[in-house]
Amino acid sequence: MNEKLNQIARRLPAEWEEQDGVLLAWPHEGTDWRYCLTEVEPVFAGIAATVSRFERVIIVAPERGAVEESLGRAGARMDRVGTFELASNDTWSRDFGPVTVLDGERPLLLDFGFNGWGLKFPADLDNRLTRRLHEAGAFGGTPRETVGLVLEGGSIESDGQGTILTTAECLLNPNRNPHLTRDGIEAALAARLGADRFLWLHNGFLEGDDTDSHIDTLARFCPGDTIVHVSCDDPDDVHYRSLSAMAAELEGFTTRDGRPYRLLSLPWPAARRDGEGQRLPATYANFLVINGAVLVPTYRDPNDRPALDVIASAFPGREIIGIDCLPLILQHGSLHCVTMQIPRGVLP
C-alpha cells in the first residue's frame, strides 16, 4: 500500500460534518445495566428521540417490540428509527461501532478490534456488532474494512483535516496493541484514517473511568480551530494537578499553520459517587454533535448551565440541548460514549 497516496485518498470527518444518523445499543438484562434498567432506559429513549428530530437512529437491541414502544412514548420519530435484533455485551457504541472514513468521496466503514478497554470486560458480542449490522443491511452497500488493530472511537478526535487528538495513556497502553510503538501506532492510523498530524496528551484523567483516559472525556475538537476541554479549579480535588498539566499541554499545541488553538474551558461538576463510594466520571466534554444541534450531558448540577453556554460558544448556530445523563455515569460513561455518528452517505 502506498501510504502517502492512501493519506490523500482517505479522511476521517470531523463530528460536526453532515451525518446520516446515530448508532445506539439498547440496555438489557444481559448488560451491567440490569439493576437499574428502569432508570437508564428513559435516558437512551430520550437520546434517540432527540436525535430523531434531526436525523436517523439505528438501534441494536435483543428484542424490537419493547424498545420501539419505549421510543414511541419518548416521542421519537419512528419513521427515522431502524431497529436491529442483535445480541450485545453492553451499550458503548462509541467504542465498538464503525469508524467511518471518506475514501475519496465514498464512505468506508472501518471495523477495528474491540477488546473491552484492554480486556477489562467481556466484549465478544460487541466486537462482532459492526460486521453483523453490515450483514443485516443496516449500512446498505457501504463497504466495510476489517482492521487488525484495537481502537475505540472514543480514543480519537479528528478535526476533519488530518489532525488526530488523543491520549498516550490509552493509545500507547500495552493492553491494546502491545506490538506497536508510538511511531507504529501513528503509521497504522495514518494509513487507515488519512491522518498526518498527531497531538498527544500525556496528562488528564477522570477517576472512575474504565477507558484509560479516552480523549472524548477530556478534550474535543470544535470548528474554527477550537478545543473545548475539562478543567478543575479546586486544588483539593484529585484531578486538579493532572488537568492543570493537561491545560498547559493544550496551550502548547498549534494549528497546522502554527497558530495557537482557541481553548474553551468547561466547568467541573460536583463529585458524584456510587453506592460503594466510588467516584463516577461526570464530564461535560462527552457531548454529541449532530446535524443542527449538540447534545450535552448534564448532571443535575449548578454547572450544567455554564457548561451548556461554553459549548454554545463553540458551536454557534446549532441548537444546544441538555440531556440528563446522571444515570449513565452509574456505568462509568456518558452521552458520547453510548452513541456513534454515521456520516452522510452511509445509510441506505
Handedness of CA 175, 176, 179, 181 (dihedral sign): negative
Residue given cell 494549528 in the structure block: 255
Q: What's the CA gap between 126 and 87, in Å, rounded?
A: 8
Backbone angles phi, psi at 43, to 5 degrees: -65, -45
Give me 127's grid cell.
466486537
Residue type at 123 in one-letter notation? A
Would you call 170 a catalytic residue per the annotation? no
Element (H, E) at 310: helix 304-314
Sequence-distant (6+) residues with CB within 8 A of 55 are 19, 20, 21, 22, 80, 290, 291
Choice among 170, 232, 325, 337 that is catalytic: 337
Sequence-distant (6+) residues with CB within 8 A of 60 are 23, 24, 25, 26, 84, 86, 88, 93, 129, 133
Give me 237's grid cell.
480535588
How many CA atoms are closer than 13 Å to the CA of 307, on its beta-carbon side?
29
Whether 123 and 185 have beta carbons less than 8 Å apart is answered as: no
Q: Give the distance between the most distant pair of CA atoms in the chain.
A: 54
- Residues with catalytic function: 337
